[in-house]
Amino acid sequence: MATEKDAAQAKTPGQRVADSRAMEVASRVGLCARGVIYVLVGLLAVRIGFGGEGGGKEADRSGAVRTIAEQPYGQVLLWALVVGLAAMALWRLSEAAFGQATEGGDKWTRRLGSLGLAVFYLVVCIGVVQTALAGGSGGTRGGDESSKDYTARVLEWPYGRVLVGVFGAVLAIVGVVIVVRSLMRKFEKNLRTERMSQTTRRIVAALGIIGGVACGVVAVATGLFLLLAAVRFDAGEAKGLDETLRSFADTPAGPVLLIAAAVGLLLFGLYSFCEARWRIAADHEASAEQPIRRDAG
């Protein structure tokens, strides 16, 4: 049976970087940054659901960033968020290049997903940098405005209508997958649940299920709006996170559905902090005599 020393020697330089202590720290810092954003988005959406206007901010990442900028030492907090998002992008990029530290992490679908997340968090990071450089007063465009602008540009491309439709369909399908995997508690495969007490495990599971379902539902709705934009050839039908959440209030369920989705996003932010604490990573404290399993991180 291979020891940790033997396994370490068999790894490529890239795999050693991916399993390094530095990359583990990057993943945990990045997950905390994600948690901050989703908690703030959830709080803003809850205020909107109860009849407020979220302090004049959109219930999306741009609104969350502006909220941070308005706090005491807002500039310091913004740059701390930049570091966290950059760490998140770097971690996901390492997963795309060398695979995830969980069972099945070398599959091309997992790597492609990690690459998409790396690009996503890099874009968000650049937006926060722009806001920080602008002194917290601008630099980050509203998500709804950006969604409509980008959709309008793509619709003008050859076969742009098809591309928008395909992207909307993929996003909706991904949302359904997220909902199903959350209900099946697949996220627990990424966590060191054996290190949790029974009560803690139940709390983390509840946060992961409710938060994951909320994220999946929002993704499905956003994807359907993109599909509608493609069918009607109208970029105005595309909606960012803020408009998608507000559209829930126009359903027969009214503001209740919006508040439920908002609370779900807030809980996903709290789950992100739990994942930062218990996510599986390379065991840097194991002795050389202990066997190592790639699926255990």
Q: What is the pLDDT of residues 63-99, one digit of tens each?
A: 788 888 888 878 888 899 999 999 999 988 988 888 7
Percent of the chain with pLDDT over 70: 81
Judged against a pLDDT cut of 90, whether residue 278 lies above it is answered with yes
Query: At CB < 8 A and 24+ separation, what contacts does 191-200 make?
Result: 191/274, 191/275, 191/278, 191/279, 191/280, 192/278, 192/279, 192/280, 193/278, 195/278, 196/278
- Tell me the HSE value of 31 on the side-chain side, using a 13 A CA sphere: 20
Judged against a pLDDT cut of 80, whether residue 59 lies above it is answered with no
- Tell me the HSE value of 37 on the side-chain side, using a 13 A CA sphere: 22
pLDDT the model gives residue 138: 53
Judged against a pLDDT cut of 80, whether residue 206 lies above it is answered with yes
The single-letter code of the amino acid at 221 is A
Q: Are 290 and 3 in contact (CB under 8 A)?
A: yes
Alpha helices in 251-294 (DSSP H): 255-278
**For residue 236, with 0-12 CB atoms within 10 Å meaning exposed, 13-18 middle and 19 or more buried, which class applies?**
exposed
pLDDT the model gives residue 122: 87
pLDDT band at 287, cuts 50/70/90?
A: very low
Number of helices (H) and strands (E) in the chain: give both, helices first: 11, 0
Q: Which residues of 77-115 are buried (b: 16+ CB within 10 A; e: fewer)?
A: bbebbbebbbbbbbbbbbbbebbbbbeebeeeebbebbe
Alpha helices in 21-142 (DSSP H): 21-49, 61-69, 74-98, 108-133
| Biggest alpha carbon–alpha carbon distance for the chain | 63
Average pLDDT over residues 88-112: 79
pLDDT the model gives residue 285: 47
Lowest mean pLDDT among 40-44, 105-109, 134-138, 273-277: 134-138
Sign of CA dihedral 202, 208, 211, 214: negative
Average pLDDT over residues 122-127: 84
In whole angstroms, give the CA distance from residue 277 to residue 71. 26
Contacts of 260 (CB under 8 A, 6+ apart): 214
pLDDT the model gives residue 295: 42
In whole angstroms, give the CA distance from residue 270 to residue 34. 10
Lowest mean pLDDT among 38-42, 101-105, 118-122: 101-105
From the list 34, 39, 129, 41, the residue with the least C-alpha distance to 89 is 34
Judged against a pLDDT cut of 90, whether residue 2 lies above it is answered with no
Q: Are 102 and 110 in contact (CB under 8 A)?
A: no
Judged against a pLDDT cut of 70, whether residue 56 lies above it is answered with no
Average pLDDT over residues 8-24: 68
pLDDT the model gives residue 274: 96
Angstrom CA distances, 255 to 46, 231, 252, 265, stand at: 9, 28, 9, 15
Judged against a pLDDT cut of 70, whether residue 141 lies above it is answered with no
Average pLDDT over residues 224-247: 85
Lowest mean pLDDT among 101-110, 162-171, 184-193, 227-236: 101-110
Higher pLDDT, 180 or 157: 180
Higher pLDDT, 96 or 204: 204
In whole angstroms, give the CA distance from residue 44 to residue 59. 5
pLDDT the model gives residue 289: 37
The residue with tokens 């503001």 is 255
Judged against a pLDDT cut of 90, whether residue 242 lies above it is answered with no
